[in-house]
Amino acid sequence: MPGGVNSPVRSFKAVSGTPVFISRGKGQYIYDVDGNKYTDYMSSWGPLILGHAAPVVVRAVKKAAEKGTSYGAPCEGEVELAKLIVKAFPSIDMVRMTSSGTEATMSGVRLARAYTKRDYIVKFEGCYHGHADYLLVQAGSGATTFGTPSSPGVPESFTEKTLLANYNDLDSVSGLYDKYRDKIAAVIIEPVAANMGVVPPSDGFLEGLREITSGSGSLLIFDEVITGFRLGMGGAQRKYGVTPDITCLGKIIGGGLPVGAFGGKKEIMSRVAPLGPMYQAGTLSGNPLAMAAGLATLRKLKEPGNYKKLRALSRNMVEGIKEIIKKVGIKAAVNSVDSMFTLFFTETNPVDYRTVLKSDTIKYSKFFENLLRAGIMFPPSQFEAVFLSLAHTERDVDRTLDAVYKALKAV
């Protein structure tokens, strides 16, 4: 395997280390093949909001597996999950399941182009929407980690209709619309950026995008692969009160199993085959195991008090880290939204991709190594998010803060 891994950021190259190979996970913990135990704050990059091997999810998957692992045909679970998603999200009347977040965003963009009969799309520097060729332009996540924001192997002709704007900068979007107004099919954005580290939207930013797109006949696509169901049952769009035209969702709707989805208003989604001419398909779309895991996860999340508990845990963690930063006197800042955050080694809180790139990645690497030795697993990159789960406890937070204090002091 290239680099010994199946996804670049797992290689620990960004933190000058050797990757940890995991043998199992349970609750808030993961265990490596050498028997070391870590309190995990990656949560499989976000979707394991109930923790590892949550009993309710494991039971659901076992029960589903006994009936078959794949049908390539409709099943009851996908209808039930679709109903739950439609009820939760203001923007979604109809939804189509996929096998990954990349498939969801790729299909969402294709749908926007089909619906508007326009070719150009606007994306933001540092926002990652999967590894489709035309979206690998100034992308975040692993592309930022390794200093290659665009990838070889992507012809210029594939990206010439992808326009770049600056996150939290409405003027940069308006400038593109001044030049390409009648050619832009859609704006695609992470409503809370999380693939360059967590960067919240500034006041009025999402509202401004809604106004610009609505006034020009183009669509607004929210990539909620990370924020969907993590920030609440209605994701970022319900939290911020801004309704997009198309929403893309990721593995949290499958309890961490391979799944994604895109959805929107009936008029738009009716363009998707077999109702309309825009083709999209997948043998594993609506896979019965993923549907069962997703239903179990989302039903658990709906129980009263779960989001309140998760936000309180996260708030205690973030405020504790901020106090430690002051106490130690190190140049660092924390950006957070609900149960996800990033500790940046910068003088001020980053507000866009350019300020994110001012982070001291060497300091982060040392910080990460110190935490790992203490049995705390943060993401092996400065440009990713920390995720808390319902499996974490106040005791975990206290222990983690103690480790963070020692790690920052050592840095």
What is the DSSP secondary structure assignment for residue 384, as one 8-state letter?
S
**308 annotated active-site:** no
Q: What is the DSSP string of 289-338?
A: HHHHHHHHHHHHHTSTTHHHHHHHHHHHHHHHHHHHHHHHT-S-EEEEET
**327 annotated active-site:** no
d(CA 246, CA 268) in angstroms, rounded, equals 8
Who's near 359: CB < 8 A, 6+ residues apart?
A: 197, 344, 345, 346, 350, 382, 383
Burial class (CB in 10 A: 0-12, 13-18, 19+), 252: buried
What is the DSSP secondary structure assignment for residue 228, as one 8-state letter?
T
Exactly one of 251, 360, 363, 396 is catalytic; name it: 251
Q: How many residues in total does the chain contain?
A: 411
d(CA 363, CA 242) in angstroms, rounded, equals 37
Exposure string over 267-295, b if 16+ CB within 10 A, otherwise e: ebbebbeeeeebebebebbbbbbbbbbbb
**239 annotated active-site:** no
Exactly one of 223, 338, 360, 396 is catalytic; name it: 223
Residue type, 83: K
Exactly one of 29, 38, 120, 128 is catalytic; name it: 128
Residues known to be catalytic:
128, 223, 251
